[in-house]
Protein backbone atom coordinates (compact mmCIF):
# COMPACT_ATOMS: atom_id res chain seq x y z
CA UNK A 1 0.00 0.00 0.00
CA UNK A 2 1.36 3.43 -0.84
CA UNK A 3 2.27 5.68 2.07
CA UNK A 4 0.86 9.06 2.90
CA UNK A 5 4.14 10.67 1.83
CA UNK A 6 7.08 9.92 -0.38
CA UNK A 7 9.40 8.62 2.34
CA UNK A 8 10.46 5.00 2.51
CA UNK A 9 9.13 2.58 5.14
CA UNK A 10 12.54 2.61 6.82
CA UNK A 11 12.61 6.38 7.02
CA UNK A 12 9.09 6.44 8.45
CA UNK A 13 10.20 3.99 11.13
CA UNK A 14 13.22 6.16 11.97
CA UNK A 15 11.01 9.25 12.08
CA UNK A 16 8.57 7.49 14.41
CA UNK A 17 11.41 6.55 16.76
CA UNK A 18 12.55 10.17 16.80
CA UNK A 19 9.12 11.72 17.27
CA UNK A 20 7.60 9.49 19.97
CA UNK A 21 9.74 8.78 23.01
CA UNK A 22 9.51 5.96 23.67
CA UNK A 23 7.84 4.65 20.53
CA UNK A 24 5.15 2.07 21.27
CA UNK A 25 5.18 -0.77 18.73
CA UNK A 26 2.45 -3.41 18.84
CA UNK A 27 2.41 -6.83 17.26
CA UNK A 28 -0.05 -7.27 14.40
CA UNK A 29 -0.68 -10.94 13.75
CA UNK A 30 -2.34 -10.27 10.40
CA UNK A 31 -3.43 -7.50 8.04
CA UNK A 32 -6.71 -6.91 9.87
CA UNK A 33 -4.88 -6.37 13.14
CA UNK A 34 -2.50 -3.95 11.40
CA UNK A 35 -5.51 -1.82 10.48
CA UNK A 36 -6.83 -2.03 14.04
CA UNK A 37 -3.46 -0.89 15.39
CA UNK A 38 -3.40 2.05 13.00
CA UNK A 39 -6.93 3.01 14.02
CA UNK A 40 -5.85 2.93 17.68
CA UNK A 41 -3.17 5.51 16.93
CA UNK A 42 0.04 3.50 16.87
CA UNK A 43 2.83 4.81 14.64
CA UNK A 44 4.55 1.49 13.93
CA UNK A 45 3.70 -2.21 14.06
CA UNK A 46 5.52 -5.52 14.43
CA UNK A 47 5.40 -9.00 12.98
CA UNK A 48 6.60 -11.60 15.49
CA UNK A 49 8.38 -14.75 14.41
CA UNK A 50 6.63 -16.58 17.21
CA UNK A 51 3.36 -15.10 15.99
CA UNK A 52 3.94 -16.34 12.44
CA UNK A 53 4.81 -19.79 13.79
CA UNK A 54 1.84 -20.09 16.15
CA UNK A 55 -0.69 -17.96 14.32
CA UNK A 56 -0.09 -18.76 10.66
CA UNK A 57 1.35 -22.27 10.91
CA UNK A 58 0.19 -23.60 14.28
CA UNK A 59 3.70 -24.67 15.33
CA UNK A 60 6.07 -23.66 18.15
CA UNK A 61 8.66 -20.90 17.80
CA UNK A 62 11.59 -23.29 17.46
CA UNK A 63 13.13 -22.31 14.14
CA UNK A 64 10.53 -24.25 12.14
CA UNK A 65 9.34 -21.37 9.97
CA UNK A 66 11.17 -20.18 6.88
CA UNK A 67 11.62 -16.93 5.00
CA UNK A 68 8.69 -17.50 2.68
CA UNK A 69 6.34 -18.10 5.63
CA UNK A 70 7.22 -14.70 7.06
CA UNK A 71 7.19 -12.92 3.71
CA UNK A 72 3.63 -14.09 3.09
CA UNK A 73 2.45 -12.30 6.22
CA UNK A 74 4.66 -9.27 5.55
CA UNK A 75 3.15 -8.81 2.09
CA UNK A 76 -0.40 -9.16 3.38
CA UNK A 77 0.20 -6.49 6.01
CA UNK A 78 2.10 -3.99 3.87
CA UNK A 79 -0.46 -4.33 1.07
CA UNK A 80 -3.15 -2.71 3.21
CA UNK A 81 -1.38 -0.76 5.96
CA UNK A 82 1.26 1.93 5.55
CA UNK A 83 2.47 1.93 9.15
CA UNK A 84 6.18 1.06 9.21
CA UNK A 85 6.57 -2.65 9.95
CA UNK A 86 9.35 -4.14 12.09
CA UNK A 87 9.85 -7.82 11.28
CA UNK A 88 11.40 -10.62 13.32
CA UNK A 89 13.72 -12.57 11.01
CA UNK A 90 15.11 -14.90 13.67
CA UNK A 91 18.73 -15.74 12.78
CA UNK A 92 18.40 -14.64 9.15
CA UNK A 93 16.85 -17.82 7.69
CA UNK A 94 20.02 -19.64 6.77
CA UNK A 95 23.59 -20.22 7.84
CA UNK A 96 25.43 -18.15 5.26
CA UNK A 97 25.82 -14.47 4.48
CA UNK A 98 23.94 -15.13 1.25
CA UNK A 99 20.90 -16.30 3.23
CA UNK A 100 20.97 -13.16 5.36
CA UNK A 101 21.36 -11.01 2.24
CA UNK A 102 18.39 -12.69 0.58
CA UNK A 103 16.30 -12.10 3.68
CA UNK A 104 17.15 -8.40 3.81
CA UNK A 105 16.55 -7.80 0.12
CA UNK A 106 13.25 -9.68 0.28
CA UNK A 107 12.05 -7.70 3.29
CA UNK A 108 12.77 -4.43 1.53
CA UNK A 109 11.07 -5.64 -1.64
CA UNK A 110 7.94 -6.63 0.30
CA UNK A 111 7.65 -3.28 2.06
CA UNK A 112 9.04 -3.91 5.54
CA UNK A 113 10.63 -0.96 7.33
CA UNK A 114 12.99 -2.78 9.67
CA UNK A 115 14.17 -6.18 10.82
CA UNK A 116 15.78 -7.56 13.92
CA UNK A 117 18.23 -10.41 13.61
CA UNK A 118 19.49 -12.36 16.60
CA UNK A 119 22.55 -14.21 17.86
CA UNK A 120 20.94 -17.54 18.69
CA UNK A 121 21.97 -20.71 16.88
CA UNK A 122 19.91 -21.92 13.94
CA UNK A 123 17.91 -24.33 16.11
CA UNK A 124 16.63 -21.37 18.09
CA UNK A 125 14.21 -21.10 20.99
CA UNK A 126 11.83 -18.48 22.28
CA UNK A 127 13.88 -15.72 23.85
CA UNK A 128 12.16 -16.15 27.21
CA UNK A 129 12.65 -19.91 27.46
CA UNK A 130 15.57 -21.76 29.09
CA UNK A 131 18.43 -23.61 27.39
CA UNK A 132 19.07 -21.06 24.67
CA UNK A 133 22.33 -21.30 22.75
CA UNK A 134 24.08 -18.44 20.99
CA UNK A 135 26.69 -18.21 18.28
CA UNK A 136 30.05 -16.53 18.82
CA UNK A 137 30.25 -12.76 18.89
CA UNK A 138 32.16 -12.82 15.61
CA UNK A 139 29.47 -14.88 13.89
CA UNK A 140 26.81 -12.44 15.07
CA UNK A 141 28.89 -9.51 13.83
CA UNK A 142 29.18 -11.26 10.48
CA UNK A 143 25.38 -11.58 10.33
CA UNK A 144 25.04 -7.85 10.92
CA UNK A 145 27.68 -7.03 8.31
CA UNK A 146 25.92 -9.25 5.78
CA UNK A 147 22.59 -7.59 6.50
CA UNK A 148 23.98 -4.07 6.25
CA UNK A 149 25.86 -4.87 3.05
CA UNK A 150 22.71 -6.32 1.46
CA UNK A 151 20.61 -3.20 1.97
CA UNK A 152 19.27 -1.74 -1.25
CA UNK A 153 17.77 1.12 0.77
CA UNK A 154 20.02 2.88 3.28
CA UNK A 155 17.04 3.94 5.38
CA UNK A 156 15.99 0.31 6.00
CA UNK A 157 16.63 -0.41 9.68
CA UNK A 158 18.89 -3.25 10.82
CA UNK A 159 18.33 -4.01 14.49
CA UNK A 160 20.64 -6.37 16.38
CA UNK A 161 19.00 -8.61 18.95
CA UNK A 162 21.18 -10.33 21.51
CA UNK A 163 20.09 -13.19 23.75
CA UNK A 164 23.45 -13.23 25.52
CA UNK A 165 22.17 -11.92 28.87
CA UNK A 166 20.53 -15.23 29.79
CA UNK A 167 23.40 -17.30 28.39
CA UNK A 168 26.66 -15.47 29.13
CA UNK A 169 25.67 -12.58 31.37
CA UNK A 170 25.30 -8.82 31.20
CA UNK A 171 28.82 -7.84 30.19
CA UNK A 172 28.82 -10.25 27.27
CA UNK A 173 25.47 -8.88 26.11
CA UNK A 174 26.78 -5.32 26.33
CA UNK A 175 29.91 -6.22 24.38
CA UNK A 176 27.89 -7.92 21.67
CA UNK A 177 25.54 -4.98 21.37
CA UNK A 178 28.45 -2.56 20.99
CA UNK A 179 30.14 -4.82 18.43
CA UNK A 180 26.94 -5.01 16.39
CA UNK A 181 26.58 -1.23 16.31
CA UNK A 182 30.21 -0.94 15.23
CA UNK A 183 29.44 -3.44 12.45
CA UNK A 184 26.66 -1.20 11.15
CA UNK A 185 23.50 -2.08 13.08
CA UNK A 186 21.19 0.88 13.64
CA UNK A 187 19.47 -0.17 16.85
CA UNK A 188 19.76 -2.80 19.61
CA UNK A 189 17.25 -5.26 21.04
CA UNK A 190 18.58 -6.81 24.27
CA UNK A 191 16.30 -9.78 24.92
CA UNK A 192 14.92 -11.02 28.25
CA UNK A 193 16.04 -8.08 30.37
CA UNK A 194 15.30 -8.67 34.05
CA UNK A 195 16.09 -5.29 35.64
CA UNK A 196 15.08 -1.81 34.50
CA UNK A 197 18.52 -0.27 35.00
CA UNK A 198 20.01 -2.71 32.50
CA UNK A 199 18.44 -0.75 29.66
CA UNK A 200 20.37 2.34 30.73
CA UNK A 201 23.59 0.39 30.55
CA UNK A 202 22.86 -0.66 26.98
CA UNK A 203 21.89 2.87 25.94
CA UNK A 204 25.05 4.27 27.49
CA UNK A 205 27.30 1.65 25.90
CA UNK A 206 25.99 1.69 22.33
CA UNK A 207 24.71 5.28 21.90
CA UNK A 208 21.89 3.98 19.69
CA UNK A 209 18.14 3.39 20.11
CA UNK A 210 17.31 0.54 22.50
CA UNK A 211 14.21 -1.64 22.20
CA UNK A 212 12.50 -3.11 25.27
CA UNK A 213 10.52 -6.28 24.62
CA UNK A 214 7.62 -6.11 27.07
CA UNK A 215 6.08 -9.47 26.36
CA UNK A 216 3.63 -11.06 28.77
CA UNK A 217 4.48 -14.10 30.91
CA UNK A 218 8.22 -13.79 30.20
CA UNK A 219 11.43 -12.87 32.00
CA UNK A 220 10.95 -9.11 31.69
CA UNK A 221 8.62 -7.30 34.12
CA UNK A 222 5.75 -5.38 32.52
CA UNK A 223 7.35 -1.96 32.84
CA UNK A 224 5.34 1.12 31.91
CA UNK A 225 6.36 3.52 29.18
CA UNK A 226 7.26 6.11 31.82
CA UNK A 227 9.56 3.67 33.58
CA UNK A 228 11.19 2.69 30.31
CA UNK A 229 11.61 6.31 29.26
CA UNK A 230 13.47 6.95 32.50
CA UNK A 231 15.79 4.06 31.55
CA UNK A 232 16.59 5.63 28.14
CA UNK A 233 14.56 3.12 26.14
CA UNK A 234 13.60 4.38 22.67
CA UNK A 235 11.18 1.64 21.56
CA UNK A 236 8.69 -0.38 23.61
CA UNK A 237 7.52 -3.58 21.96
CA UNK A 238 4.33 -5.48 22.79
CA UNK A 239 4.81 -8.41 20.40
CA UNK A 240 1.86 -10.71 21.06
CA UNK A 241 -0.52 -8.87 23.39
CA UNK A 242 -3.44 -8.70 20.96
CA UNK A 243 -2.71 -12.20 19.67
CA UNK A 244 -2.97 -13.66 23.17
CA UNK A 245 -6.22 -11.77 23.78
CA UNK A 246 -7.61 -12.91 20.42
CA UNK A 247 -6.79 -16.54 21.18
CA UNK A 248 -8.39 -16.43 24.61
CA UNK A 249 -11.52 -14.80 23.18
CA UNK A 250 -11.74 -17.46 20.46
CA UNK A 251 -11.38 -20.27 23.00
CA UNK A 252 -14.22 -18.79 25.06
CA UNK A 253 -16.50 -18.53 22.01
CA UNK A 254 -15.73 -22.06 20.81
CA UNK A 255 -16.37 -23.43 24.29
CA UNK A 256 -19.66 -21.55 24.64
CA UNK A 257 -21.01 -22.63 21.24
CA UNK A 258 -20.08 -26.25 21.84
CA UNK A 259 -21.51 -26.21 25.36
CA UNK A 260 -24.67 -24.18 24.75
CA UNK A 261 -25.51 -25.08 21.18
CA UNK A 262 -25.72 -21.37 20.35
CA UNK A 263 -23.59 -18.23 20.33
CA UNK A 264 -26.29 -16.17 22.06
CA UNK A 265 -24.45 -16.08 25.39
CA UNK A 266 -21.25 -14.63 23.89
CA UNK A 267 -22.67 -12.36 21.20
CA UNK A 268 -21.92 -9.27 23.30
CA UNK A 269 -18.20 -10.12 23.23
CA UNK A 270 -18.03 -10.09 19.42
CA UNK A 271 -17.12 -7.39 16.96
CA UNK A 272 -20.31 -6.59 15.06
CA UNK A 273 -20.70 -6.93 11.31
CA UNK A 274 -20.84 -3.14 10.94
CA UNK A 275 -17.74 -2.69 13.08
CA UNK A 276 -15.83 -5.15 10.90
CA UNK A 277 -17.04 -3.47 7.71
CA UNK A 278 -15.95 -0.11 9.08
CA UNK A 279 -12.47 -1.39 9.99
CA UNK A 280 -11.79 -2.84 6.54
CA UNK A 281 -13.55 -0.03 4.63
CA UNK A 282 -16.02 -2.53 3.15
CA UNK A 283 -18.53 0.00 1.84
CA UNK A 284 -15.91 1.94 -0.12
CA UNK A 285 -14.93 -1.25 -1.94
CA UNK A 286 -18.58 -2.11 -2.50
CA UNK A 287 -19.31 1.33 -3.94
CA UNK A 288 -16.39 1.01 -6.36
CA UNK A 289 -17.74 -2.36 -7.46
CA UNK A 290 -21.24 -0.95 -7.98
CA UNK A 291 -19.83 1.97 -9.98
CA UNK A 292 -17.80 -0.40 -12.16
CA UNK A 293 -20.81 -2.54 -12.99
CA UNK A 294 -22.97 0.54 -13.59
CA UNK A 295 -20.41 1.87 -16.08
CA UNK A 296 -20.58 -1.38 -18.06
CA UNK A 297 -24.34 -1.22 -18.54
- Is 119 marked active-site? no
Q: Is 163 a catalytic residue?
A: no
Pick the catalytic residue from 82, 118, 119, 186.
118
For residue 227, how many C-alpha atoms fall within 13 Å in the half-sphere facing its CB?
A: 11
Cα angle, residue 79 at apex, residues 77 and 80 outer, rounded to 5°: 75
Q: Tell me the C-alpha distance between 282 and 297, whole Å.
A: 23
Helix (H, G, I), strand (E, B) or coil at 11: helix
Among 73, 88, 119, 186, the one annotated catalytic: 88
Active site residue 73: no
Is 162 strand, coil or helix?
strand
Considering 126, 143, 176, 223, which one is annotated as catalytic?
126
157-162 vs 187-190, strand pairing mode: parallel
Query: Which of 167, 188, 169 shows the shortest CA–CA distance to 179?
Result: 188
Map residue 250 onto helix, strand or coil: helix
The one catalytic residue among 30, 191, 199, 238: 191
From 30, 46, 128, 176, active-site residue: 46
Which residue among 14, 33, 82, 90 is the active-site one?
90
Q: Is 131 a catalytic residue?
A: no
Clarify whether 197 is annotated catalytic: no
247 included as an active-site residue: no
> What are the CA-CA distances from residue 84 to residues 114, 164, 185 (Å)?
8, 28, 18
Candidates 33, 163, 213, 238; catalytic one:
213
CA–CA separation, 47 and 39 (whole Å): 17
Known catalytic residue: 265? no
Active-site annotation holder among 128, 161, 199, 238: 161
180 counts as catalytic: no
Tell me which of 61, 73, 119, 163 is the catalytic residue: 61
Q: For residues 234 and 23, is the Cβ–Cβ distance under 8 A? A: yes
Q: How far is CA 26 from the centre of its chain?
A: 7
- Of the candidates 12, 14, 33, 116, the residue annotated as catalytic is 116
Report the distance separating Cα 98 and Cα 259, nearest Å.
53
Active site residue 278: no
Which are the catalytic amino acids?
46, 61, 88, 90, 116, 118, 126, 161, 191, 213
Amino acid sequence: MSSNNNSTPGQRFRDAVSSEQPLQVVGAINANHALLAKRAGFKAIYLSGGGVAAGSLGVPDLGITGLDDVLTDVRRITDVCDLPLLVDVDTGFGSSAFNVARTVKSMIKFGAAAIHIEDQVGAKRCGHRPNKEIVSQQEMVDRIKAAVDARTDDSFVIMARTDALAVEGLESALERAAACIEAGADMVFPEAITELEMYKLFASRVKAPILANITEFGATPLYTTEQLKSADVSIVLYPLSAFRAMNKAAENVYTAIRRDGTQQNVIDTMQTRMELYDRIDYHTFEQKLDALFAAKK
